[in-house]
Structure 1
């Protein structure tokens, strides 16, 4: 019996020991797994707000997974300044070390993002720099904008121990750096030059060398890819795509307005606006209130077309529609400019279409386009020319207007001068529109005037 008790006690102690050991093993397993993952995130094409949202998701997932490093594989010619500034903040705030691996180009906004990273690695043939700000038309930005962007480039370089003067030379043509840059030029560095000037850490050949630099050869690489919705958001929020979507949307609705029925043009137009709102909603620019405002605008415009009114509904609908489009844009000024461009292009297209193809559909029901000509059977009033010279008798006194019987028919007449008493003989001497002008005569032989015809 005592042996059984001691055996049972031993088993219980063994179980307790195993239970206490299991959490330790699990904990050591988690500790071993944590810090062994490297999140690999592509930074390609344009820098815009859609890219910002994608990177925010990637950084959040990396932090939740307790990754040891984040690698941004970069190949971009730049893009929107405001989006680049936000991405720069994201990199500086990251608790996980960030390495930018420039596999192609890091131009303009791309250069700014790279300068905010803990490490910059470049492949042979890659480049970094040429970060002069330009307008959407490609013209050089004003001095105020250049100074603003230059100071941000310098701050990004200083934050990671890189030369701020070289960073400024990537932006401002007026800066001169002895042995590196002459006045009137922009700095754009090849991979070898960037490493030599300590703007990049090392020249690498491939991903393996990137991992070797990070001492993460045995790490698990987690590749973060764009979802379908993120791809749409990146495409739609591009500053070059927004004016095109506006133009397609306005042109589609305009064509539908001037053609019968509701078909392909109207569907394409509404589809373009829907794509615009969907992409900006995913990118975080447009909220439900913007979408509701847009729908209200469409409803008011439809009511103006199909319900008789004084144009108030149409004006309110247009205001709501424009407000929704502008407020959903990344920048209000940019949204207004894009919309004006779209309006101008659409107006020119509609003018050309009306001139060569004519008008049909709803617009034709709102405006009278027919010429009323006698050749087409239109007669505005009955001609009185045939009554010239006819004689009759005044039925009422003409003071100067009244009624007379002319050629057996009662007519509204007016005297050509003074008062003509009733029953006085008269003669038609003129025809002015609907009026007959008569004159009193001395002798009437027209028997038809004796008996008025009612």
Structure 2
């Protein structure tokens, strides 16, 4: 049985370790899916996929379906595309997919832009969601709009595409179907599927930003789909604003609980969670959200030492809920579609309220226990209990008698776990002695 296990383990390791072997004479196309919000994980995924494509001297096809995301990550992805040594083709696919906001910027950076019928691009104007009215407020401040307009129009001009339409994506929230995008020279190809795209671009000559002219040989090429390393999945998950907020909140609460309860072993874990949340945001946490999170957690901690469970406790819960909700809402570095922004906001609110309610319940129980007076004001002599600590003449320790914890002292050495009997009281301390085996037999 052991031999079979080791053989299975060896085969598993070998399977994981195997990397595809490529023929130098075969033409390849590397494909990568850019799905969900654009964040640091997406940036690393593109970086790795481009590295694989350049090793094979193969074009890279990015299959886009994204509501947008971090402008910083989108800019880094644009730099990767512009500095690549192989052509990058952007393909919004399948039908029903979109490349909104930051996704549109990335599409316009590609050497060939393609869309499937029934897909949409555009809607790149930054907006803020107003939870009180359920509406979206367009951002028109020039200091925010102009840099984005500059980026997108430069991309359109460099790729020979429609600058006016590119500018309207940002200033007027313009969106286009595949047919209109082709008509207005925003994209080069409409393709029904991957095979159709590969056939249509075969033989095209692409001039890269470094001056290299690359002739596409896509017909009959072998498709190699790149899905990313473990690093990509970890960073992508931590970069999600909802998961990131949850990890940061749990870290802060665990830190406070650990310090207040004396369970210091959880402190490193708490600090680790906080650091992970920082990594997920690229060390650019929104200051307002972080301040609210810390103040809320501190308010809950202070509630432990105040009479009753009132204003401070509920205030802390509300502040934590708001800190989670405001992280995606206030950050102008996010360039995402309005519908996705609303989803982020309400999911954040739900998580915040749920986590706050749970935390409040736990704190309520802690406070109740801390502030509850002892059930026994005096302990009758002769009461029997158990030593919780080692106790001696000059070494007081805790005992448990009739379900209550008491500090006690003894004229003899009592070890943890020994049975004891109360023989008197010295001030606030109980006077106890160990129950011998002889005494137990007499009883």
Instruction: Report the TM range for the smaller structure's normalisation.
Output: 0.5 to 0.7
Q: What whole-Å deviation, never above 9, does each CA across 1:278-312 have from its counterpart, x for those lacking one?
A: x55xxxxxxxxxxxxxxxxxxxxxxxxxxxxxxxx
Q: Is the 8 A contact 2:68 2:99 kept in 1?
A: yes
Q: What whole-Å deviation, never above 9, does each CA across 1:247-272 have from its counterpart, x for those lacking one?
A: 11101222333446468x76863452
Task: Look up the match of 2:119.
Answer: 126
Secondary structure (helix, strand or coil) at the match of 1:88 reads: helix
Structure-2 change in CA distance of 1:241 and 1:370 (3 Å): closer
In 1: Cα distance, 2:129 partner to 2:299 partner: 22
Shift of 1:217: 2.4
Task: Look up the match of 1:191.
Answer: 178
Counterparts in 2 of 1:166-177, with a 5 A limit?
A: 166-173=165-172
Match of 1:87 among 66, 72, 77: 77
Match of 1:330 among 258, 276, 282: 282
In 1: Cα distance, 2:186 partner to 2:296 partner: 45
Shift of 1:237: 2.2
Secondary structure (helix, strand or coil) at the match of 2:30 reads: strand
Secondary structure (helix, strand or coil) at the match of 1:170 reads: helix
In 2: Cα distance, 1:349 partner to 1:188 partner: 46
Secondary structure (helix, strand or coil) at the match of 1:79 reads: strand
Task: Look up the match of 1:153.
Answer: 152
Task: Look up the match of 1:108.
Answer: 101
In 2: Cα distance, 1:205 partner to 1:341 partner: 49
Name the Cα RMSD after superposition: 3.2
Task: Look up the match of 2:387.
Answer: none
Instruction: Choose 1 or 2 for highest CA Rg.
Output: 1
Task: Look up the match of 1:53.
Answer: 44
Shift of 1:105: 0.9
Task: Look up the match of 1:269.
Answer: 270
Tell me whether 1:229 sits opposite 2:222 in the alignment: no
Tell me whether 1:41 sits opposite 2:32 in the alignment: yes
Task: Look up the match of 1:65.
Answer: 56
Structure-2 change in CA distance of 1:355 and 1:47 (3 Å): closer
Shift of 1:135: 5.8
Unaligned ranges ≥5, structure 2: 1-22, 131-135, 203-217, 304-312, 314-359, 379-443
In 1: Cα distance, 2:157 partner to 2:167 partner: 11
In 2: Cα distance, 1:276 partner to 1:155 partner: 34
Counterparts in 2 of 1:232-247, with a 5 A limit?
A: 232-247=234-249
Task: Look up the match of 2:220.
Answer: 218
Unaligned ranges ≥5, structure 1: 1-28, 174-185, 281-328, 378-454
Number of residue-to-residue matches in the alignment: 274
Counterparts in 2 of 1:16-31, with a 5 A limit?
A: 30=24
Shift of 1:207: 0.9
Higher RCO (CA-CA < 8 Å; seq separation 6+): 2
Q: Is the 8 A contact 1:50 1:234 kept in 2?
A: yes
Structure-2 change in CA distance of 1:355 and 1:203 (3 Å): closer
Task: Look up the match of 2:435.
Answer: none
Structure-2 change in CA distance of 1:355 and 1:84 (3 Å): closer
Task: Look up the match of 2:187.
Answer: 200
Secondary structure (helix, strand or coil) at the match of 2:85 reads: coil
In 1: Cα distance, 2:137 partner to 2:229 partner: 34
Runs of 4+ in 1 over 6 A off after TM superposition: none
Structure-2 change in CA distance of 1:355 and 1:330 (3 Å): closer
TM-score (ref. length: structure 2) = 0.55
Task: Look up the match of 2:64.
Answer: 74
Q: What whole-Å deviation, never above 9, does each CA across 1:148-199 have from its counterpart, x for those lacking one?
A: 11111111111111111111111113xxxxxxxxxxxx20111111112121
Shift of 1:74: 0.4
Shift of 1:331: 5.0
Task: Look up the match of 2:319.
Answer: none
Q: Is the 8 A contact 2:245 2:277 kept in 1?
A: no
In 2: Cα distance, 1:270 partner to 1:160 partner: 46
In 2: Cα distance, 1:224 partner to 1:355 partner: 47
Q: Is the 8 A contact 1:42 1:72 kept in 2?
A: yes
Structure-2 change in CA distance of 1:195 and 1:256 (3 Å): same
